[in-house]
Amino acid sequence: MEKKSYFAAMVDCSRNGVLSVSSLKRFIDVISSFGYNALMIYTEDTYEIEGEPYFGYCRGRYTKEELQEVDRYGLSKGVELIPCIQTLAHLENIFRWGVYEDIHDNKGILLAEEEKTYEFIRKMIATCRECFTSKLIHIGMDEAMTLGLGKYLKLHGYVSKLEIMKRHLPRVTAICEEYGFTPMMWSDMFYHNSDKKMTVEDAKTIPSDLKMIYWDYYRNKVSDYEKIIIERKALPNEIWFAGGAWTWSGFSPFNRMSIKRTKAALTACKKQGVNNIILTLWGDDGRECSVFSVLPTLFYAKKFFDGETNLATIKKQFNELTGESFDAFLAMDLLNDLGGPNDQPYNVEKWALYNDPLIRILDNHVVPEKKKALRLAYRRLSKAAKESPNYGYIFSSQADLAKLLLVKYDLGVRTLAAYRQGKEELKALLPEYDKAIRLTKKFYLSFRRYWYTDYKLNGMEVQDIRLGGLMTRLWDVKEILSSYIAGERDSIDELEHEVLDFAGEKDADGKPINHNSWADALSANVLRMMI
C-alpha cells in the first residue's frame, strides 16, 4: 500500500483570534477544493482540558465537542485534522495563573524532568485523542531558547538545552504512542536553537518514528533551502517541510513574497524528495490578518507542487474555482509597498498606523512621496470589496485601512514641519486630526465586522483597546497642539527631540523594516511589565 503524503495548512488559533467553528468549516471547504488533505489547528492553550479550568481561561478555547465536530466535518471533505499543540515552550499564557507554577521553568517553558509536568502533558494528549481521529500529533517543542535556565537550573544545575531535550522528548513521545499517536515536532531545537552541536550519538537518542518538521519562511533561493534539507537528512527521522503564507506581520498579507519563497522552498523539497508539506498561517501580535487573505498563496503552493508552474494558468484556475480574483487579493500587498522590494516583509500598514504623531518613533522610515501606493491600494481594494462574492468584508477592512493611512502615514512628519513653520501652519493642520479620528473609527468598525465574521468574541477586546486608544491619542495630540496655538504652553517638548533610528536598521530607501509590535511602534514607555 502506497504511503500517504500530506499537503496541509496550519492555522494559528492561539494569538487571540480563535476561528469559529463555522469559519473553520469554511476554511476546510476552500483548502479541500484546492487539493489539501490535512489541516492543523495550532492551539497552545485554546482547547479544553477536563479538570484544568485555568487552561485557556477567557481565551476562547475550543470545547471537546467543537473540535470533534470540526474533525468529523474535515473527514467528510477529505481533510484530516491533525492536533497541533505545545509540550515544552510557547505556553506563556498559562503561566499568568499561579496554579501552574509547579511546572514552570521560565518564560513560556514547562519544567522538564518534573513528574507533574508529564502528568499535565498526559492530559493534553489524552484530550487530543478524544477530539481527533488522526494518528498524527504535532507536539511543538520549538523556540525554547531559555530552556533549563529558570527553575530547572535551581533544581539541577546547568544542563545544556540539547541534553534536556534528549531527556524530555522520549517522555513525551512515549505518552503519544500510549494514546495511539505518531508524533511530529519542529526541528529547530536540535539545530539553530541548540547550545551544543548534535553528534551521531545524540541523534540515536531521538525516537526513530518522530517526524521532524523543518520550518522556514525567510529564504528566497532554492539552494538555501536545499542546503538545510540535506543537513536535516543526517537524522534518521522523516523530514517534513513547513513554509509560510504570511498572515503574521500586520493587518495585510504578503502574497507575492509568500509565493516567491514558496516556489523556492517547494522546488528544493521536490529535488530532495520531501513530500510532506505544511503551509503555516501564524497570527503574531493579535491575529490582525485574515487567514482567507492568503488564498492565492495556498492555491499556488498546491498547484506548483503538483507540477503546474505557469502563474497565468494558476491565476486562471484560481479565478474559475473560487469565483474570486487572484489579482484582487494581491492588491492587499499594496498597503505594504511604500518601500523595499516585494520579496521582503515591510509592514508599513501596521507600524504607520500606531506610530505616534507626537513621539514619532518611526518617522525616519516615512517617505511621504510613496503615498501614491496607498491611493492605488484604496482604489483597488474598494473595487474588490464591491466585486468579491465571498470576502467583501475583508477587502472593505483593507480599503478602510488604506484610506486611514492616507492621512495617518505621514501625520507626524507633517506635524513637525507645521510646528517649525509657525502656529498658523499648525492650526491649518488640525482638521487632519479630526479626519484621522473619523477614519480610525470607520476602520475600527470594518475591522470589527471582519473579526466577528471569522472569530470567536475573545481577543477583540485587545483590538478595541488598541484602536480605541489610537482614537483617543489622536484627540489628545490635537488638544496639545491647540493649547500651544492658543499660547497656553510655550513649546511642545515632544516635537523638539531628535528622532533616532532603531539600532542596526536601514533607512526607508534601503532594506525594508518590519515592526510587528503594536507596543514598540506606539511608545518608548512601559506598556507591559518587563521581567
**pLDDT value at residue 527:** 83
* Least confident interval from 18-27, 141-150, 183-192: 183-192
Residue type, 457: L
pLDDT surpassing 50 at residue 240: yes
Prediction pTM value: 0.96
CA distance 415 to 356: 11
CA distance 43 to 23: 16
Q: How far is CA 396 from the centre of its chain?
A: 21
Taking each helix axis from N to C end, the angle separating 392-408 and 372-387, rounded to the nearest 10 degrees, works out to 160
pLDDT one-digit tens code per residue, 372-428: 889 999 999 999 999 999 999 999 999 999 999 999 999 999 999 999 999 999 999
pLDDT one-digit tens code per residue, 71-106: 999 999 999 999 999 999 999 999 999 999 999 999
pLDDT surpassing 50 at residue 230: yes
Cell representation of residue 40 = 492543523
**pLDDT value at residue 210:** 96
Between 365 and 459, residue with greater pLDDT: 459
Cell representation of residue 139 = 507536539
pLDDT one-digit tens code per residue, 5-31: 999 999 999 999 999 999 999 999 999
Could you tell me the pLDDT band of residue 199, with boundaries at 50, 70 and 90? Answer: confident
Please name each of the domains of the chain with its CATH number: 7-322 (3.20.20.80), 329-522 (1.20.120.670)
**pLDDT value at residue 208:** 87
**pLDDT value at residue 508:** 45
CA distance 24 to 77: 12
Cell representation of residue 234 = 543526517
Q: How many residues does the chain have?
A: 531
Which of 57, 78, 175 shows the shortest CA–CA distance to 127?
A: 175
